[in-house]
Structure 1
Amino acid sequence: MRKNTEGRFDVRLLRAGKIASSITTDLQPYSWSFLRSKDSDVKLPVVLSTYGTSLTIYEAAPSTSATFQPRREFWGGHGFFTSCSESPDGRFLAAANTDGMIRIYSLEHFERRGSLDFDFDWDENLSVVEVGPRGKAEGFRVGDTLLTADGVDFGTFLDRAVNDPDAPHKFHEGQVVRFAVQRGGAKLNVDVALPRGPDEAEPLLNLYVAADGEWVIWCPQGYFDASPGGMNLIGWQVNGKLVEAAQYYPATQFKKALYRPDVIDSVLRLGNVKEAIAAANAALPRETAAIDLRDRLQFNEIRPPDVRITSPVGNMHVNAAKFRVVAEVHSTGDAEIRDVRFLVNGRPAIADASVRPREVQTSSSGKDKIAVYEQEVTLAAGENLISVTAATSQASSASPIVRVQFDPPFVESAIMPKLFILAAGCSHYKNESINLKYAASDAQGFVSAWKAQKGQFYRDVETTLLIDEEATSENLRDGMDWLVRSVTQHDLAMIFVSGHGVRDNRNNYYLATHDSDVGRLRATSLPHSDILRLVEDMPCKVLLFVDTCHGGGITGAKSPYIEDPWRDLVSEEVGAILFASSQPRELSLESDNWQHGAFTKALLDVLSDAKGDVSHDGYLSVTELDLQLSERVKQLTAGQQHPVSVKPPTIRNF
Structure 2
Amino acid sequence: MFQRELVCRAVSSTFALVMGAGLLNLSFALAEETEARQRLQEGGCNAQTKSPCRSSSVMSPRAGAVSVVFGRATDSFQVSQDGTRLQFPLDVFGEQVADFAFNLALLTVEARPPNFARSASIAAGCHSVIPDDMGSFLTTSAQGPEVNGRRGVDSHENSKPLWTVDAHGGRRVIAPVVCFAKATGDGRLVIAAYDDGTVRWHRTTDGRELLALFVNKENWRWAAWTPSGYYMTSPGGEDTIAWQVNRVGSRNADFFPASRLRERFSRPDIVQQVLIALDEGKAIEAANRAAKLSSDTTPVNSRLPPVISILSPSDGGSVRDREIAVDYELRSPSGLPVDTVEVLIDGRPSRGIKPLHSGVTGARIERQMVSLPNRDVELGLLARSGSLVSEVAKVKLRWQGSTALQADEGLKPKLYGVIVGVSSYNDKALQLKYAAKDAKDFAAALQLQKGGLYRDVELKVLADAEATLDAIRRSLTWLERSVTSRDVGIVFLAGHGLSDAKNQYYYLAVDSDRKQLEDTALDGVTLRQRTRRLASKVLVFLDTCYAGQALGPAARGATDINSLVNDLSSTENGVVTYASSTGREVSQEDASWGNGAFTKALIEGLGASGVEARADIRGKGVITTAALDLWVSERVKELTGGSQHPVMVRPVPDFPMFFVRN
TM-score by length of 1: 0.70
Q: Distance in 1 between matches of 2:388 and 2:546?
A: 24
Moved more, 327-336 or 617-626: 327-336
1:379 maps to 2:372: yes
Structure 1 residues 372 and 499: alpha-carbon distance in aligned structure 2, compared to 1, 3 A threshold: farther
Residues 294-443 of structure 1: pairs in structure 2 closer than 5 A = 298-309=299-310, 312=313, 315-320=317-322, 322=323, 325=326, 327-333=328-334, 335-337=336-338, 340-350=341-351, 356-362=352-358, 364=360, 368=361, 377-392=370-385, 395-405=388-398, 407-408=401-402, 410-411=404-405, 414-443=410-439
Moved more, 481-490 or 87-96: 87-96
1:569 maps to 2:564: no
Aligned-pair CA distance for 1:442: 1.0
Which of 274, 281, 297 is the matching residue for 1:267? 274
RMSD (Å), alpha carbons: 3.3
Aligned-pair CA distance for 1:36: 6.8
2:563 is paired with a residue whose SS is coil
Q: Distance in 2 between matches of 1:205 and 1:250?
A: 18
Which of 543, 557, 560 is the matching residue for 1:559? 557
Which of 247, 259, 265 is the matching residue for 1:252? 259
Aligned-pair CA distance for 1:468: 0.1
Contact 2:499–2:559, Cα closer than 8 Å, also in 1? no
Contact 1:281–1:288, Cα closer than 8 Å, also in 2? yes
Structure 1 residues 243 and 325: alpha-carbon distance in aligned structure 2, compared to 1, 3 A threshold: closer
Contact 2:338–2:358, Cα closer than 8 Å, also in 1? no
Structure 1 residues 299 and 394: alpha-carbon distance in aligned structure 2, compared to 1, 3 A threshold: farther
1:605 maps to 2:586: no
Structure 1 residues 35 and 214: alpha-carbon distance in aligned structure 2, compared to 1, 3 A threshold: same
1:81 maps to 2:179: yes
Letter in 2 for 1:494: I
Counterpart in 1 of 2:473?
Answer: 477
Aligned-pair CA distance for 1:559: 2.7
1:630 is paired with a residue whose SS is helix
Counterpart in 1 of 2:284?
Answer: 277
Structure 1 residues 602 and 71: alpha-carbon distance in aligned structure 2, compared to 1, 3 A threshold: farther
Counterpart in 2 of 1:230?
Answer: 237
Contact 1:281–1:289, Cα closer than 8 Å, also in 2? no
Which gives a bigger RCO, structure 1 or 2 (Cα 8 Å, sep 6+)? 2
Counterpart in 2 of 1:32?
Answer: 126
Aligned-pair CA distance for 1:522: 3.7
Which of 92, 101, 124 is the matching residue for 2:198? 101
Which of 634, 637, 640 is the matching residue for 2:637? 634
Contact 2:546–2:588, Cα closer than 8 Å, also in 1? no
Residues 521-532 of structure 1: pairs in structure 2 closer than 5 A = 521-532=517-528
Contact 2:127–2:141, Cα closer than 8 Å, also in 1? no
Contact 1:426–1:498, Cα closer than 8 Å, also in 2? yes
2:214 is paired with a residue whose SS is strand
Aligned-pair CA distance for 1:462: 1.4
Structure 1 residues 635 and 98: alpha-carbon distance in aligned structure 2, compared to 1, 3 A threshold: same
Moved more, 382-391 or 325-334: 325-334
Contact 1:47–1:57, Cα closer than 8 Å, also in 2? yes
Counterpart in 1 of 2:650?
Answer: 647
Counterpart in 1 of 2:511?
Answer: 515
Q: Distance in 2 between matches of 1:552 and 1:92?
A: 35
1:623 is paired with a residue whose SS is helix
Letter in 2 for 1:32: C
Contact 2:163–2:175, Cα closer than 8 Å, also in 1? no
Aligned-pair CA distance for 1:472: 0.7
Q: Distance in 2 between matches of 1:490 and 1:554?
A: 44
1:49 maps to 2:148: no
The structure with more radius of gyration: 1
TM-score by length of 2: 0.69
The count of corresponding residues between Structure 1 and Structure 2 is 508
Moved more, 421-430 or 563-572: 563-572
Q: Distance in 1 between matches of 2:535 and 2:328?
A: 21
Residues 429-508 of structure 1: pairs in structure 2 closer than 5 A = 429-504=425-500, 507-508=503-504
Structure 2, unmatched stretches of 5+, are: 1-121, 143-155, 657-662
Q: Which has the higher strand share?
A: 1
Aligned-pair CA distance for 1:246: 4.7
1:480 is paired with a residue whose SS is helix
Structure 1 residues 458 and 394: alpha-carbon distance in aligned structure 2, compared to 1, 3 A threshold: closer
Q: Distance in 1 between matches of 2:643 and 2:376?
A: 42
1:54 is paired with a residue whose SS is strand
Contact 1:606–1:629, Cα closer than 8 Å, also in 2? yes
Q: Distance in 2 between matches of 1:29 and 1:491?
A: 57
1:361 is paired with a residue whose SS is coil
Q: Distance in 2 between matches of 1:475 and 1:248?
A: 43
2:564 is paired with a residue whose SS is coil
Structure 1, unmatched stretches of 5+, are: 1-27, 63-68, 111-200, 292-297, 351-355
Contact 1:582–1:588, Cα closer than 8 Å, also in 2? yes
